């Protein structure tokens, strides 16, 4: 199982756990901390593999090319029954070419490339690379099947691990927070470039909010791929003396009244918790120029808006995503309980559109069926612990 990004590592870890609940199997992979904790034998740690632009990706090319050859070599020597590729399309599609053409191994693609896009095309060129595809969005399954790919909509795994809370006060007390004080979460991203660009703006917004709401509690997410010390330095520069750093996003989106979040999987995690949000993305000048040159047809950048096909949450991009503007949008919501309640209702609709719980289990059944044949996925299964 090969995952490159922090979100893919999470999805792969959950799938690995679901597989082990059903069958006594060996799990070998490329991933990060969560896959290791789920019992994978990691060939390589992909913590530093993530990039968000062509300029960032170029720096990684020599290293990733070497890893590509090494993974191909491992597959050649060990001939696993199934290869599962999780997101990370720029790398995994090249690996699929090598595994398929030279080794003939069976491939399941979980989170296929551009699965979030309702207008993506060209999937017919990928049909020969994949035996099965498990995709998180229904429109993605329709597009893939239209290109001759055996695709199944399984739902998005965020709904398996994050639920909305009726009452956030008990969790706040458990985290050592004041139960009734305004609570704001900051989710600046999981890649180093995102922390450099998004972190200072999110923290500047939090400082402005604290100036306006003296009792506000600020929670700052630390992704497994990010050093806490980097975020601590940014918080000091922003003049924030009281910030709670918490690992991951789950407890933050469940405890917060609102989060200021970079675009990406974190926006779906907040949606799964029905947590109101302000979404932003602040890239480097080179990244912005690259975007202008490519001119992608993006109506929205926030996943809740993409899922709903309308503007459910505010989103700000590049130079408009300043700390002052982020704070203004957040304060406007925090001071309007009716607007917060309306956004929560819409986010619950977004959550419902992500499918039914049991996503990782459904993908596990597909994987075991590919290995054992129809109806044989649970042969030799162990009871779930």
pLDDT interval class at 292 (50, 70, 90)? low
pLDDT interval class at 166 (50, 70, 90)? very high
Specify the pLDDT at position 50. 75
What's the whole-model pTM score?
0.90
**Residue from 321, 327, 330 nearest 283 by CA:** 321
d(CA 36, CA 321): 36
Could you give the angle at the alpha carbon of 381 between the alpha carbons of 379 and 384, nearest 5°? 155
Specify the pLDDT at position 60. 84
Specify the pLDDT at position 377. 47
Structural domains in the chain, CATH included, are 2-155+356-372 (3.40.50.2000), 165-353 (3.40.50.2000)
d(CA 121, CA 385): 42
**Neighbouring residues of 111: CB distance < 8 A, sequence distance ≥ 6:** 8, 11, 86, 87, 134, 135, 136
For CA atoms 251, 42, 361, 366, the dihedral sign is positive
d(CA 252, CA 177): 11
Q: Strand pairing of 183-187 and 151-153?
A: unpaired
Element (H, E) at 305: helix 303-308
For the chain, give me the number of helices (H) and strands (E)?
16, 13
Specify the pLDDT at position 285. 60
pLDDT interval class at 53 (50, 70, 90)? low
Residue 361 has pLDDT above 50, yes or no: yes
Torsion of CA 294, 300, 304, 308, to 10 degrees: -120
Specify the pLDDT at position 55. 60
**Residue from 323, 88, 288, 282 nearest 193 by CA:** 282
């Amino acid at each position: 199982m090969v995952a490159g990004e922090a979100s893919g590592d999470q999805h792969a870890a959950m799938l690995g756990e679901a597989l082990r609940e059903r069958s006594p199997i060996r799990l070998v992979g490329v991933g990060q901390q969560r896959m290791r904790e789920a019992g994978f034998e990691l060939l390589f740690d992909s913590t530093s593999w993530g990039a968000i632009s062509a300029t960032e990706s170029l720096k990684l090319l020599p290293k990733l090319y070497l890893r590509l050859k090494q993974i191909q070599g491992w597959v050649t020597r060990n001939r696993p029954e199934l290869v599962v590729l999780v997101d990370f399309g720029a790398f995994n599609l090249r690996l699929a070419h090598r595994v398929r053409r030279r080794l003939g191994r069976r491939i399941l693609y979980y989170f296929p490339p551009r699965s979030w896009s309702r207008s993506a095309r060209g999937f017919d060129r990928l049909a020969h690379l994949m035996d099965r595809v498990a995709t998180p969005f229904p429109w993605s399954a329709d597009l893939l099947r239209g290109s001759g790919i055996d695709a199944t909509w399984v739902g998005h795994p965020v709904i398996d691990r994050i639920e909305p809370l009726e009452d956030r006060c008990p969790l706040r007390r458990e985290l050592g927070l004041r139960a009734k004080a305004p609570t704001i979460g900051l989710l600046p991203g999981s890649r180093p470039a995102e922390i450099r660009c998004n972190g200072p703006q999110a923290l500047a917004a939090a400082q402005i909010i604290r100036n306006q709401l003296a009792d506000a509690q600020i929670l700052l997410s630390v992704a497994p791929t990010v050093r806490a010390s980097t975020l601590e330095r940014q918080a000091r520069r922003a003049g924030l003396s009281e910030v709670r750093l918490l690992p991951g996003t789950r407890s933050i989106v469940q405890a917060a009244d609102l989060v200021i979040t970079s675009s990406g999987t974190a926006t779906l995690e907040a949606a799964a918790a029905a947590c109101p949000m302000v979404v932003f993305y602040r890239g480097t000048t080179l990244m912005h120029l690259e975007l202008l040159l490519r001119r992608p047809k993006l109506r929205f950048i926030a996943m809740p808006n993409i899922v709903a096909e309308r503007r459910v949450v505010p989103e700000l991009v590049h130079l408009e995503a300043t700390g002052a503007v982020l704070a203004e949008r957040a304060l406007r919501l925090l001071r309007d309980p009716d607007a917060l309640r309306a956004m929560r209702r819409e986010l619950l609709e977004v959550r419902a559109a992500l499918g039914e719980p049991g996503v990782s289990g459904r993908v596990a059944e597909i994987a075991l069926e590919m290995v054992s044949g129809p109806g044989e996925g649970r042969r030799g299964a162990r009871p779930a612990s």
